[in-house]
Amino acid sequence: MIGGVSRTSGGQLRLDGMPRRLFVCTPSRLTTFADCPRRYRMTYHDRPAPPKGPPWAHLSLGISVHNALRAWWDEPPARRTPDRAGWLVERGWVAEGWRDDAQSTRWRARAAAMVTRYAGDLDPAAVPRAVERTVATRTELLALSGRVDRLDERGGELVVVDYKTGRRPLTDADARTSLPLALYAVAATRTLRQPCTRVELHHLPSGQVLRAQHDDASLRRQVGRAESIATDAIAATEALGDGAPPDEAFPPRPGSGCSWCDYRRLCPEGRAAAPDRAPWDALGEGTADA
Ligand code: SF4
């Protein structure tokens, strides 16, 4: 340290006592680092961005469903019917990542039926407080923002609603332990100035709603978890700036999820850890068709 000036571990000069720049992030950025630092580097650091693999059909399905539900709430009340929800899926279908037109058409009809069923359980008059709303908050370390699928208002409190379209059955524990859901609740409280401690996963394929009730302590724990991940991400970035090899600063974390990684073609460890998958394999076409 020289005269009140010190260096960060990355070698940058910092005036002591000055607040450090906040780590700007989304829940997705944090979970990407926690899942695999190498994937984080390729997603958020490497420029020009490395080429990704082909589009995934399950992501096309998810985008189509989310877009349709957002558009449904934008409709005038009289048009918020279950059939309209299905029609919106058909109209906005994302036809990328499918094996062929026949598969895409089959899943479009299936997704439309799923959203029609889901909308049948919604009260079209119970307008959510917000739909696809960006919420944001700050901590001592984080400038956090994220987009919430839906924010309901029930009993004077906000409820975070997150739509899920994957095959895997979910449990209440998935809602309770989800870092993104907890961070959305904290950010929604701050942005809309209204308490928000309840979070829900709406699993459209099964029609299940998985719920969790947070309290101050559990939300604080999740914010601490987010700050811990951010601290590791900052340290990795500074190590890279200090000249550490990229694979040391951001090591791969291979596992079964490597089958679905956009960068597996560039990652020998990931290819060794999990088999190649076709872009539509996550849908479990064989079983789901039955
Ligand atoms: S393939 Fe696996 S180990 Fe490689 S970057 Fe992707 S998630 Fe990480």
User: Could you report the per-residue pLDDT of 35-94, keeping only the tens digit for each?
Assistant: 999 999 999 999 999 999 999 999 999 999 999 999 999 999 999 999 999 999 999 999
- Buried/exposed code over 76-115 (b: 16+ C-beta within 10 A; e: otherwise): eeeebbbebbbbbbeeebbeebbeeeebbeebbebbbebb
Q: State in Å: Cα 266 to ligand 1 middle.
A: 9
Looking from the CA of residue 42, the nearest atom of ligand 1 is 5
Ligand 1 site, residue 263, Cβ cutoff 6 A: yes
Q: What is the pTM of this model?
A: 0.91
Question: Cα 70–71–77 angle (5° rounding)?
Answer: 105
Average per-residue pLDDT for the chain: 93
Q: How many CB atoms lie within 10 A of CB 34?
A: 17
Per-residue 3-state assignment (H helix, E strand, C coil) for 175-217: HHHCHHHHHHHHHHHHHHCCCEEEEEEEECCCCEEEEEECCHH
Looking from the CA of residue 261, the nearest atom of ligand 1 is 6
Q: State in Å: Cα 110 to ligand 1 middle.
A: 31
Ligand 1 site, residue 187, Cβ cutoff 6 A: no
User: Could you report the per-residue pLDDT of 169-194, keeping only the tens digit for each?
Assistant: 999 999 999 999 999 999 999 999 99
Looking from the CA of residue 264, the nearest atom of ligand 1 is 1
Confidence of residue 141 (pLDDT cuts 50, 70, 90): very high
User: Could you report the per-residue pLDDT of 201-235, keeping only the tens digit for each?
Assistant: 999 999 999 999 999 999 999 999 999 999 999 99
In the numeric block, the tokens 């699993």 are attached to 203
